[in-house]
Amino acid sequence: MIKNKVISEAVIKRLPRYYRFLKQLEKEGVTRISSSSLAEMLNVTASQVRQDFSNYGEFGQQGYGYSVAKLRGEIASILGLDARHDIIIIGCGNIGKALARYTNFTDDGFYVKAMFDLDPSVIQKVPEGIEILEMDKLATYINTHNVDIAAICVQSNAAIDVAKLLCKLGINRLWNFAPVDLSQVDSNIIVENINMSDSLFVLSYKIKQ
């Protein structure tokens, strides 16, 4: 049953990995899997796998295990992958451009619909169907289009202002690529960070040990 309790960040961050492996299993034609097999694949304990799933419901069957397709579907639903998501990108620099051309998550219903920059002439060769607009068109765009997620791909020094503006315009779901903390910009902001510097520094740390 679905518990009325707070689920830890650690559990949440493991869900995409489960999803990824289940997708792969399904692709390979595997129809059933036990918590212990899955655990072995992921290099975690079977207990953790069962605990994680049990936060969200009862997806398995005693003596049998889990149906791969059903479990994948359940996790997709938990992750919100059963809905379509429209993304806009703020900043047409290297990262913004790469993101616009990166089509890996189209399969799961995430679509880049528009990109904004102070100087939109900097960018060419973007996939069909993505509008490129000047920053001062942002408010109008948001008022006339569905926007689920805004990806912040501007320079560090502009990121906080952009985040504030977006929150003011009602877009508080931010995918932040700038190496800056946005969590305190707004009281009900939702941010996920891709911090390449932080990641590189952690790698550097591990190399040094």
Binding site for its own copies (CB under 8 A): 12-13, 15-17, 19-20, 42-43, 78-81, 83, 85, 94-95, 97-99, 101-102, 104-105, 108, 110, 148-149, 156, 173, 175, 179, 181, 183-184, 190-208
Give me the amino acid identity at 52: D
Q: Residue 107 CB, nearest distance to its own copies (Å)?
A: 10
44 binds, among DNA, its own copies, none (CB under 5 to 8 A by kind): DNA
Which DSSP string do the residues of 117-153 spell out, in sequence order?
Answer: ESSGGG-----TT-EEEEGGGHHHHHHHS--SEEEE-
* Residue among 34 and 172 whose Cβ is closer to DNA: 34
# chain residues binding DNA, by CB under 7 A: 27
Alpha carbon of residue 50 to chain centroid = 23
For residue 207, which phi and psi values (nearest 5 degrees)? -65, -40
199 binds DNA (CB under 7 A): no
Build a one-symbol-per-residue string for 49-88: x at contacts with DNA by CB under 7 A, - elsewhere.
Answer: -xx-xx---xxxxxxxxx----------------------
Sign of CA dihedral 31, 34, 36, 42: positive
18 binds DNA (CB under 7 A): no
31 binds DNA (CB under 7 A): no
Sign of CA dihedral 177, 178, 180, 183: negative
* Residue among 62 and 94 whose Cβ is closer to its own copies: 94
Q: Residue 24 CB, nearest distance to its own copies (Å)?
A: 9
Q: Which stretch binds DNA (CB under 7 A): 32-40, 83-91, 138-146, 176-184?
A: 32-40
Give me the amino acid identity at 21: F
Work out the end-to-end distance of the chain between its first and last CA atoms, rounded to an integer number of angstroms: 44
10 binds DNA (CB under 7 A): yes
Beta-carbon contacts of 163 under 8 Å, excluding residues fewer than 6 positions away, are 152, 174, 176, 182, 185, 186, 189, 191
